[in-house]
Every structure is written in structure tokens, then in C-alpha cells.
Amino acid sequence: MTSPEPLLKVDALRVDVGERNVLESVSLEVPAGALQVLMGANGSGKSTLGLTLAGHPRYRVSGGSARFAGQDLLAMTPEARARAGLFVSFQAPPEIPGVKNNLFIRTALNAVREARGESPLDAFDFLEHARTAARRVGLGDAMLGRPVNDGFSGGERKRNELLQLALLRPRLAVLDEADSGMDVDGVRALVELVRELRAAGSAFIVVSHYQQLIEQLEPDAVLRLDQGRIAETGDVALAARIARSGFAARAAAAQAV
């Protein structure tokens, strides 16, 4: 009996930004419902991987492949990837002046609902769901009527992405340092939301160096990205070793083996 294809399968992915090669050859598999933590030194390519999977035009795939839910991910437009159930957060969520937060999220949600064969939500029903979700992630109702991230603090921007995650309920979410700038309550809301969505079948790739968060998330695997490759795979013990010795020492130890 053949094993089922993983939800995400990346094979020897090579990515260039301008004239610079950032990802040399990244291979990984994420089964449905799994949670993997991605760690790596600054500039190792963690954000590049997420934005490449999302289809950001700045990141040019020069080799390898990526399949998502049985489809050629790299052949899909960014919009098609999102409708198929891929969610990628920003390390530094940008402002979108002039675009109301509630309209932005409702438009995205209804596009995903349409792809799932579900009926769209009107403004009234959406606001009811959005206000409930906003309270869960510690975001005030007033934030829904403001332009996307306009004047938001760093923590509020991260909570706004949690709000999108809670409403979109993707098949796979790539969270790029979602805990950055968050207070204790924000981190708790993040952990609770990830646990809830994972129990419902969502898979996650979480970029983080926060040891306590990693332990709370209970990942299936911890991956260390180094020089454009997955250099090491382990469990929470690997994250603990990195926290104690740092990336440079970990890379030297791995090379000595």
C-alpha cells in the first residue's frame, strides 16, 4: 500500500532574489495536520521560503518543485494558492492605506469560501464572525473599520494576521515569527488558535526562535535551515540545543559529525 502524498512536498527548491541565490536546495514534506518549526540564523532564507510558496514575484524559482494538495504549486497564481488553502503571514505585516480591514478580510474570506463551494458571507454575517474572532485574539472591534494595519502597533499587526488566520482557516499556514512583538496574552492567543486549527486538520510551518513557544506548540519536527538547505531535522530537543549554543555552534557541530 502506497502512503498518501503529503499536503506540501518541496523537493530541491532553489530560489534567487535578484542576482543572489538564497535557497540552494530545500526539501521538506508537511503532512496534513502536522506542525513543523523552522529555525535558522538571520538571512538563512526562512522568510524567502514562505514568500516563495506564496508566489511573491520578487522570489524567482530557478530549480526544484513544490506540490500542494496534489497540485503543482509553482504553476499556480498567488490568488489560486490562497484559494487552495495556503496562508502565509508576513514577518513585518505591511500597511494598506485606504483599504478597510473588514472589507479586505471579507473579500479574501469569500474568495476562499467560493473555492470551497460555500456561499459568501454578507457584511452583517461577516462582522458577527469577525468581532467574535477579533475578541479571541485580543483585537478591538474598532480595528476592523480602520485601514489595514494603518497606525497599528507591531503587536496589533500580528494580532490582525491571527484574525485573518482564524477566519480563513487554511489547510496550511506558514507563520513567520508570529510571536514577534506580541505580549504574553498575544502569544497565548496564538498558541490556542494554532492548537484549535491543527485539531481541525490545518498544518503549520512556524518560523520561531522562542523556545517556550516552540515547546507549547508541540511540533512534529524542528528543522534548521543553513546556507540555503535544511541542515538538520529533529524535535524540540534540537530547538533547545540551538537556544543554548546558537546557530554558529550548531552548524559547526553538525559539520563535525
Identity at 248, one-letter amino acid code: A
User: What is the extent of the structural domain holding 37?
Assistant: 8-256
Separation CA 84–CA 91 (nearest Å): 22
Separation CA 242–CA 54 (nearest Å): 28
Q: Is residue 113 part of a domain?
A: yes
Supply the DSSP symbol for 4: P
Q: Is residue 2 part of a domain?
A: no
Q: Domains in the chain: how many in total?
A: 1
Q: Is residue 205 part of a domain?
A: yes
Q: Is residue 1 part of a domain?
A: no
Q: Domain of 45: which CATH number? A: 3.40.50.300
For residue 158, pLDDT over 70 is answered with: yes
Q: Is residue 244 part of a domain?
A: yes
- Using the structure block, give the residue that is written with the C-alpha cell 521538506: 28
For residue 151, pLDDT over 80 is answered with: yes
How many Cβ atoms are within 10 Å of 52's Cβ, its own excluded? 26
pTM, two decimals, is 0.93
pLDDT band at 61 (very low <50, low <70, confident <90, very high): very high
- Locate 129 and state its grid cell: 464572525
List, for residues 95-105, the tens digit of each pLDDT value.
999 999 999 99
**For 170-235, what is the HEC assignment?**
CCEEEEECCCCCCCHHHHHHHHHHHHHHHHCCCEEEEECCCHHHHHHHCCCEEEEEECCEEEEEEC
For residue 238, pLDDT over 90 is answered with: yes
For residue 180, pLDDT over 90 is answered with: no
